[in-house]
Amino acid sequence: MRPLIFAALFAFVSTPCFAAGPKVREIRVASSRVSVGDVVEGLAPEAAGIDLGPAPAMGGSRVIDREEIVRVLHDHDIDDAEHVPASVRVLRKTKRVEPTDIEQLVRQGVTSKLTRGVALSAVHPGRAIDVPDGFTRVTVDLPRPPRRTGPVSSAVSLVFFEQSEALVMISVPVDLTLSEEAAIPDLVHGARVTLVVRRGLVEVTSSGTAGADADIGGILPVVLHPSGRVVRARLEDSEHAVALDSP
Residue 12, pLDDT score: 46
Residue 81 lies inside a defined structural domain of this protein: yes
Closest CA to 128 of 160, 95, 86: 95
Give this prediction's pTM. Answer: 0.72
In eight-state DSSP terms, residue 156 is E
What is the distance between the alpha carbons of residues 107 and 120, in angstroms, rounded to a whole number?
8
Residue 16 lies inside a defined structural domain of this protein: no
Residue 4 lies inside a defined structural domain of this protein: no
- 99 and 177, same domain (yes or no): yes
- 88 and 102, same domain (yes or no): no
- 172 and 220, same domain (yes or no): no
- 108 and 146, same domain (yes or no): yes
- Pairing of β 192-199 and β 240-243: parallel
Give the end of a domain, one of 139, 166, 183: 183
- Any bridge partners for residue 89, and if so which? 26, 63
Residue type, 205: T
92: how many CB neighbours lie within 10 A of its CB? 22
Closest CA to 154 of 134, 138, 174: 174
- Could you report the per-residue pLDDT of 172-206, keeping only the tens digit for each? 999 999 999 999 999 999 999 999 999 888 999 99
Residue 3 lies inside a defined structural domain of this protein: no
Residue 179 lies inside a defined structural domain of this protein: yes
What is the distance between the alpha carbons of residues 122 and 125, in angstroms, rounded to a whole number?
10
- Any bridge partners for residue 155, and if so which? 173
- Could you report the per-residue pLDDT of 67-119, keeping only the tens digit for each? 999 999 889 888 777 778 899 999 999 999 999 999 999 999 999 889 889 99
166 sits in which H/E element: strand 165-178
- 173 and 100, same domain (yes or no): yes
Per-residue pLDDT averaged across 19-44, rounded?
A: 84
- 177 and 133, same domain (yes or no): yes
The total of structural domains in the chain comes to 3
Quote the distance between the C-alpha of residue 160 and its chain's center: 5
What is the chain's mean pLDDT, rounded?
89
- 35 and 114, same domain (yes or no): no
Contact (Cβ atoms closer than 8 angstroms) between residue 186 and residue 206: no
What is the distance between the alpha carbons of residues 79 and 69, in angstroms, rounded to a whole number?
11
Would you say residue 19 has pLDDT above 70? no
pLDDT over 70 for what percent of the chain? 90
